[in-house]
Structure 1
């Protein structure tokens, strides 16, 4: 892999990976907890996430889905990743700059009462983002919200696939998953 990939991996291992006994958002108990926000909110980590995420979008997703207009996912895990990838697309002067949005867990109870905030509108084809997928539950909730608001999800970009069935659950919906890392590539087992 690349020097950037190896550096991001080392930051993930240092800042985000913890071993022990943890109850995950899915309710499952695991020996591994990965808090990708610690890496994605680190300036160097965010820069690398943006560079590697944009490379993956540009080389793997856009050739298959050239109509993709925006990138985003469930707050809060997806937010720094989506913004980093979108900013990198703009900084690179890409022909296609990705707009960025975020999906709220619940609609706002004031103002316009929106569930999706930012640069998203009905009819957009998007890449959904998640920091970590285990069962795929939070990614699927984001997909449901995007589709309910009239969007089309072309693909899912994830920082880490724990390889515990989430990828398969998302792909069963016809949405290909593109992980930057898997449990195997991150930990070697």
Structure 2
């Protein structure tokens, strides 16, 4: 594990990971709660996420020979991660920097009624982002919105895969998942 990955793991464990008994958004009970926003909204955490996330995205783009236009996902969990990775891409490769967008949970009820805000256009190839995947539900909802608006999802970037079926649900849609950490790697299980 690189120094950057080790630093991010330490920060996640300190700020974002709790053990006990918790009810998750899916309604399931779990012995583990992960609030990645506490790390992703920390300036040091955001810098680490940007560096590691861009490294993972760049690697996948290179391996698959992809051309990717933008990065984003369901608000609020994906927002700081998408921006951090987009900023890292701009620092390291200004000519091919990823544009950043966010997906609202529901379309706006006023104005243009948009569900996707920011730097997204029909025809874009996208990296969809999520902070934590459990069942994959919120990632799949973001994918649905992106595809409805004419985007093509190349793959998903996830900060933590809880290893509870979410990866399989997303990959069943034909969308590969790249995770920076899993439950096993985060907790050394």
Q: TM-score range by the shorter chain?
A: over 0.9
Residue 187 (structure 2) aligns with:
187
- 1:174 aligns with 174
Cα deviation, 1:31-74, whole Å, max 9, x if unaligned, reads 00000000000000000000000000111234315221000000
Equivalent residue runs for 1:56-67 within 5 Å:
56-67=56-67
Partner of 1:74: 74
User: Partners in 1 of 2:178 and 2:82 — Cα distance?
Assistant: 14
Deviation at 1:128, TM superposition (A): 0.2
Partners of 1:182 and 1:150 lie apart in 2 by 31
Question: Structure 2: how far apart are the matches of 1:120 and 1:62?
Answer: 22
The runs of 5 or more residues in structure 1 that have no matched partner are: none
**Residue 117 (str. 1) matches residue 93 (str. 2):** no
Give the TM-score, by structure 2 length: 0.98
Give the number of equivalent residue pairs.
189
Q: Report how far residue 93 of structure 1 moved.
A: 3.0
Q: How does 1:35-54 map to 2 (within 5 A)?
A: 35-54=35-54
Structure 1 window deviating more from structure 2 (90-99 vs 120-129): it is: 90-99
| Match status 1:129 vs 2:134 | no
Q: Is this contact kept in 2: 1:68–1:127, CA < 8 A?
A: yes
Aligned pair in 2 of structure 1 residues 47, 113: CA closer, same or farther (>3 Å)? same
The aligned counterpart of 1:11 is: 11
Q: Deviation per CA, 1:88-131, whole angstroms, max 9, x where unpaired?
A: 11111344110000000001111111000000011111000000
Query: Residue 188 of structure 1: CA displacement?
Result: 1.2
The runs of 5 or more residues in structure 2 that have no matched partner are none
Distance 1:150 1:65, change over 3 A: farther
SS in 2 for 1:68: coil
* Counterpart Cα distance in 1 of 2:88 and 2:188: 29
Q: CA RMSD in A?
A: 0.9
Is the 2:102–2:116 contact (alpha carbons within 8 Å) kept by the matching residues of 1? Answer: yes
Q: Secondary structure at the match of 2:96?
A: coil
CA distance in structure 2 between the partners assigned to 1:123 and 1:16 by the alignment = 35
Distance 2:73 2:104 in 1: 9
Q: Using a 3 Å threshold, how does the CA distance of structure 1 residues 144 and 62 change in structure 2: closer, same or farther?
A: farther
